[in-house]
Amino acid sequence: MESEFFVFALVLAIVLCALVSGLLFGFAVVVMPGIAKLPNKDFLLAFKDMDGIIQNKQPLFMLVWVGSILSVLASMILGTIDLDGQEALLLWIGCGWYLLGVQLPTVAFNIPLNNTIQGLEIDKLNELELSNSRVNFEAKWNQWNRIRTINGIIAVTIFLWLLFLL
């Protein structure tokens, strides 16, 4: 029998991971394609400004992002106590998929790329420097964001499947 704490943690993980995945999806299909049409300087400034909101620890963003990690970890711990067999396996797969497929690439790739943009004095760069900065950033960031998006959707789907089985 699953504890109420586990079910609550799992539902919270589903909601928060879905919100994170939706944010990543929005960047993948709307934000980045939208700013891709901007000239180099405007593209870099736009991204720097959007990321600056996150880097300044926007409270709702932080609640959702950090909350998704904490709720996944809580689900993993509580579910390890409450579940066995296929349900425990699904839980561990979903948690691993989210943490390794969304959070690890974020820390290993997207945040360092974001920090590179944050460190630029964009108004002082010439056109070649602007172009190089964009080339070194945009394709890599988009690639890793697509990976995070797909992995987030898969993890949420696994969590929903688990919830259905309970």
Q: Using pLDDT thresholds of 50, 70 and 90, give the confidence band for residue 36.
A: very high
Q: Using pLDDT thresholds of 50, 70 and 90, give the confidence band for residue 1.
A: low
CA distances from 36 to 11, 14, 42, 46, 135 (A): 36, 31, 10, 10, 11
Measured between alpha carbons, how far is 121 from 123 in angstroms, rounded to an integer?
Answer: 6
- 90, 46 in Cβ contact below 8 A? no
* Residue listed under structure tokens 């990321």: 51
Checking if the pLDDT of 2 tops 90, the result is no
CA distances from 8 to 3, 5, 13, 30, 96 (A): 9, 5, 8, 32, 19
Residues 73-118 have pLDDT tens digits of: 999 999 999 999 999 999 999 999 999 999 999 999 999 999 999 9
pLDDT at 106: 98
Into how many domains does the chain fold?
Answer: 1
Residue 76 structural domain:
4-165
Dihedral of the alpha carbons of 43, 46, 48, 53, in degrees to the nearest 10:
-160
Within 27-110, residue ranges assigned H as helices are 32-35, 40-55, 59-82, 85-98, 104-105
Residues 42-51 have pLDDT tens digits of: 999 999 999 9
Average pLDDT over residues 49-70: 97
- 118, 37 in Cβ contact below 8 A? no
Residues 118-164 have pLDDT tens digits of: 999 999 999 999 999 999 999 999 999 999 999 999 999 999 999 99
Average pLDDT over residues 9-29: 98
